[in-house]
Structure 1
């Protein structure tokens, strides 16, 4: 007899005003099982979780369906009983810990709040259990951190606090909504391993919401693909990754960047998720599907069973076939190592130190060494990727190169001009040659300005196309280049999707005709399909305009697809640099090896993950000798007292490590 699922959802329909956010969703989650909900933003994944918790926004209502947790109908419970379920029987980890944690309450107060409510603890017992939970969640030095506030913690630490809060009520079901979005690969690996180990210890069921196929491959037992408010495919993990059937599922796989797509364009999904307040006559994916035919437009597909546990909602499904379509092999092409040998940018011994001041007279008592002696070159038409953990100084490097942050020392030679020696007027004359695309387009675009004003601002300030008529023609060409309609000029940033806002940010950078663009994590929070569109756009613009990119990221598949060379950064310094293929296939620095081992593997066997001890040291007090030696499994006596010099492994790879020629 099949055991009763921990969570059983049947025909769930949730409406927010006229929007049918969840439209007939059914699935189950058993104890010790992880069910992953996969899909683009706007498909209804998070709203499904909020419906389970009955945490709907204003004007939201559950119109139909059943939600049973351990045999109890959650939709029939009074609100007072649901308060005991939330945080008690069901724990939830929200997507953005910084906005989920209260900035004016200490970490201990926020963990303790849940312990008081669901376990009736107080006094010394509450403090001891709070420290125990934070230790179990992997927060270093929990006894000290318990009195600190969220702004004093890194992103990975804040996520661990959210996990501790979610576990405080001993939940039977854990809902994790994008728990690793925008985290570094090393921190992501730690968080995922933590969730797996806690699940094994407690026997919890887990509903994992994500758009990251790598996370699904690591964590899920079963997968549900969601599109436009409904599930379109469900399958065991291995069956899904071996042969996804639904055209939407296959498009998500094809949009993943990597070496297989080098030199070619990534697969994209045209259009957007349809508005959920519209009436659907046929298949909801039909307007974006290459395989759609007349029946798809008029008749909604029913579920078809492909194999045991593998079902799909598609008219192309062969009923009872027992097999699904395999993923087509990607064509493999090799890009040239560099498009040109001419260096557009040459950075030498760059330092950016931020003073630490104390006392009544604010005397300097130390310095945060954000960048501490960094050198790199970028050729004309070349992409150099800069990778490393959060806090290692990547963004500061980008800002210092384009002089948004004043370097403490070093040389930045751009197109033959020494930028660090230029005054305000001289720097202004050079400013159009280099621009920056920031990580979050919403916060970097002025919400009170229309797109035309955003794009014209830089052109007018730097004297590019001073005539209004020529400027408007240039803006029209610019929108065509970034794939936006001309009507976008007269709209505001809030009227666009995340991917469209990033296109506007790229257009703003291009408006002054730069030769170098610093791209700071431009795709980190985007769905895989939107990410593919932005990467294709960047590559097309590079080919068309001969642009050079400094691409700051922690996404190694993106590096593999886009960059000719890669520099690995740790605590203000580069520790390994070389051709992308050489560094990613044969890394020689222990830190690079750890980064690569932590990256999720979608297909094939997963190599052992190299666990790094502790967190990134403070740049205000970097370790003596090699900065990485406190976390390195290969560290020797010399590593603790002497910083390693440069070792040239080959003309295509250099490493800063005492064991560079000995580590396999």
Structure 2
């Protein structure tokens, strides 16, 4: 084995961050560490790298790299291991890259530290590394700064920096969480190819089961600081045995389920004095022994073991599979009342030119977009980062001035209203933002957060009635009764998003713009929020514009899906039409890039490169530089809309020329 972790314990005061985990990673193999936020995955990686904060320490255990315990090395020797024999890719490349150093300086730093190259040779080697990770024009990119690169390119630079030390072990901590599905597919393919070429051992930390399915050879499920199941990938995906593992699978969006399975409660605080099974308070199959005695490992098959009393009981071979009553999803029939009509929406930003340049340039963030949402309907707006999705949402709620077009809400054009008239309409449309913590005032209690909008918009003038309504709201979104008197930092990420939903509902809107409301959440918490949004829509008949790049979530929650590329909608239709019968090459590429737990073969990404700049969109079809099926007409003329059914429309020359 290249890397062996043996009974690793990491402490931070009373917090048991990592509590006795053991696993092995072989050369050319990937071990995936899977679990919810707060379970100790990243702390395991930091313990291996000896990058813990000063107040934390590894209290016992071994980290064997080949036959050497890196925990026993002095710091001077550890510097050669860190970045050399063991490399690490961090979750957020922008915060991991130094913003005041060029890309070349940062890649060369690793080369010069772990090799005897001259500065000139190191620069050439840095350019070769950038080329090897798929960055074109590498010599030019060496002199650029991180802010000049896209998210996918920054992550590729991080990979190049890691490879510069020629490591035996690569630790990838959520390497694709912040990336679009298309860029994620490219990065995962890159990591697979590099691993095959160099024979590296890889420790992959993630909460995405689809990524695990495509990348892992072995899977370890972590919960509250300890491993609860370890298995080969194929066995794990066909026969997960621990109730927690089964719940993770059941929480995935599935259009055949009327309600997603969610795991009640949260990962327990790591300063808890555990008695019995750590998952028992959230497990529907727990019995007396689960609350009294910690389970030991049960060997189920070759390489497959789980820590559960259900499996160790005589006569019980497998834990019962956790399923809720389900039925095929039948979208609610809307009354066809048009709640929102957006017609030819344009949002342009003027760009400054150099002092010797003349004329004006604009960035066309949204370039002639039209859509309709009916009462009680959910329309999902999907696409890569930078396509203009969030700008559309902000323009609809009038947080972003529009250049041209109409935004008709209940027959009233919001874009044409005076500020005072617009104020009277604001209660009808609200927005839920992507990061619930950043969008909630940390100095205000939840009661003040909910009450602020109600008072400002005159929704409920009576103080007593407002308080009753706030109590109902808290109950409605599944928060504890004492939530009103608490501050945002006292809640988990999922609970903070529930506060944001309650704030939006407080003014009784007819339409809610949901801007990536689940992208920062674990799959189990995501299921809770999706179930909540769906239940609220059924109860209140509120309409949603659901902005996301997560196609499985869009498929489950939305009645219709609109696919956006570089400021324009290129395909729109019913959820089943888009997910099962997509016609635009861009939509097909998005669907092909989605990691799936049902397929384990290595995929070749269908979509290469990055989206063009909205400041200089390509002539003709905006997608043609990335399209393998592009024709001459695609480079010359933007395609007209082709209607395929009563609800399915596509802008593509491949369809209009047939």
Matched with 1:298 is 292
- 3-state SS of the aligned residue for 2:170? strand
Matched with 1:241 is 237
Which of 338, 353, 356 pairs up with 1:358? 353
Report whether the alignment pairs 1:577 with 2:572: yes
Which of 115, 121, 125 pairs up with 1:119? 115
Q: 1:415 to 1:304 in 2, by over 3 A?
A: same
Which of 20, 27, 35 pairs up with 1:24? 20
Report whether the alignment pairs 1:556 with 2:556: no
Report whether the alignment pairs 1:110 with 2:110: no
Distance in 2 between residues matched to 1:223 and 1:538, nearest whole Å:
32
Q: Contact 1:248 / 1:285 at 8 angstroms: preserved in 2? A: yes
Query: How far has the Cα of 1:492 moved from its partner?
Result: 1.8
Aligned pair count reads 657
Matched with 2:631 is 636
Q: Contact 1:134 / 1:161 at 8 angstroms: preserved in 2? A: yes
Q: 1:222-244 deviations in whole A, cap 9, x for unaligned?
A: 00000010000000000000010
Matched with 2:45 is 49
- 3-state SS of the aligned residue for 1:105? coil
Which of 331, 343, 353 pairs up with 1:348? 343
Q: Contact 2:261 / 2:323 at 8 angstroms: preserved in 1? A: no
Q: 1:610 to 1:94 in 2, by over 3 A?
A: closer
Q: 1:517-569 deviations in whole A, cap 9, x for unaligned?
A: 11111111210000001101111111111110000111111011100000000
Matched with 1:313 is 307
- 3-state SS of the aligned residue for 2:310? coil
Report whether the alignment pairs 1:78 with 2:74: yes
Distance in 2 between residues matched to 1:114 and 1:450, nearest whole Å:
47
Q: Contact 1:440 / 1:522 at 8 angstroms: preserved in 2? A: yes
Q: Contact 1:385 / 1:550 at 8 angstroms: preserved in 2? A: yes
Distance in 1 between residues matched to 2:54 and 2:481, nearest whole Å:
35
Distance in 2 between residues matched to 1:134 and 1:422, nearest whole Å:
51
Q: 1:23-70 deviations in whole A, cap 9, x for unaligned?
A: 110000010000000000111111011110111113211111111001
Write the mapping of 1:376-391 to structure 2, written as runs, cut at 5 A: 376-391=371-386
Report whether the alignment pairs 1:544 with 2:578: no
Q: Contact 2:214 / 2:600 at 8 angstroms: preserved in 1? A: no
Matched with 1:139 is 135
Q: Contact 2:218 / 2:230 at 8 angstroms: preserved in 1? A: yes
State TM-score, norm by structure 2.
0.97
Write the mapping of 1:135-284 to structure 2, written as runs, cut at 5 A: 135-261=131-257, 264-284=258-278
Query: How far has the Cα of 1:281 moved from its partner?
Result: 1.4
Q: Contact 1:357 / 1:364 at 8 angstroms: preserved in 2? A: no
Q: Contact 1:649 / 1:661 at 8 angstroms: preserved in 2? A: no
Query: How far has the Cα of 1:322 moved from its partner?
Result: 11
- 3-state SS of the aligned residue for 1:104? coil
Q: Contact 2:446 / 2:486 at 8 angstroms: preserved in 1? A: yes
- 3-state SS of the aligned residue for 1:233? strand
Distance in 1 between residues matched to 2:453 and 2:356, nearest whole Å:
40
Query: How far has the Cα of 1:606 moved from its partner?
Result: 5.2
- 3-state SS of the aligned residue for 1:456? helix
Distance in 2 between residues matched to 1:506 and 1:566, nearest whole Å:
22
Q: Contact 2:570 / 2:650 at 8 angstroms: preserved in 1? A: yes
Query: How far has the Cα of 1:363 moved from its partner?
Result: 7.3
Q: Contact 1:387 / 1:567 at 8 angstroms: preserved in 2? A: yes
Matched with 1:586 is 581
Distance in 1 between residues matched to 2:491 and 2:99, nearest whole Å:
29
Where do 5+ consecutive residues of structure 1 fail to align? none
Q: 1:326 to 1:183 in 2, by over 3 A?
A: farther
Q: 1:194-240 deviations in whole A, cap 9, x for unaligned?
A: 00000001100000000000000010000000001000000000000
Matched with 2:10 is 14
Q: Contact 2:343 / 2:371 at 8 angstroms: preserved in 1? A: yes
Shifted more, 5-14 versus 57-66: the winner is 57-66
- 3-state SS of the aligned residue for 1:660? helix
Q: Contact 1:251 / 1:267 at 8 angstroms: preserved in 2? A: yes
Superposed CA RMSD in Å reads: 1.8
Q: 1:581-618 deviations in whole A, cap 9, x for unaligned?
A: 01110100000000000001101465954522321001
Q: 1:337 to 1:274 in 2, by over 3 A?
A: closer
Report whether the alignment pairs 1:496 with 2:491: yes
Where do 5+ consecutive residues of structure 2 fail to align? none
Query: How far has the Cα of 1:486 moved from its partner?
Result: 2.6
Distance in 2 between residues matched to 1:271 and 1:571, nearest whole Å:
40
Query: How far has the Cα of 1:170 moved from its partner?
Result: 0.4
Q: 1:610 to 1:654 in 2, by over 3 A?
A: farther
Q: 1:219 to 1:425 in 2, by over 3 A?
A: same
